[in-house]
Amino acid sequence: MGGYSLAREIHHPVSYAVSFLVLEPVGFCCLVGLIALIAPESFIGTLLAGALGRAKIALVLVFLALGSFIVGTLTWIAWEWLRLQR
């Protein structure tokens, strides 16, 4: 529902990408998670338990990428500041 609202109001490729890659999978996982709460021993519950490990790895990779971006940006700013001081 959130992805549809975003794509309907803002006609831009970035809004379509955010809607398709972020909002819709979150909504789908919430629905599947509800099913897994009702029947934890089902196939979906087992599937979500296996996906949790992969999600942790993805989270670590995202934080590493964000951290390297921040460190790189700060290094570049320091380099340019030192260059201007000469």
Task: Please tell me the pTM assigned to this model.
Answer: 0.48
Structure tokens at 34: 């509800």
State yes or no: pLDDT of 2 exceeds 80: no
Q: What burial letters (b/e) apply to 21-60, b meaning 16+ CB within 10 Å?
A: eebbeeeeeeeeeeebeeeeeeebbeebeeeeeeeeeeee
Between 83 and 20, where is the model more confident?
Answer: 83
Average pLDDT, the chain: 81
Between 26 and 80, where is the model more confident?
Answer: 80
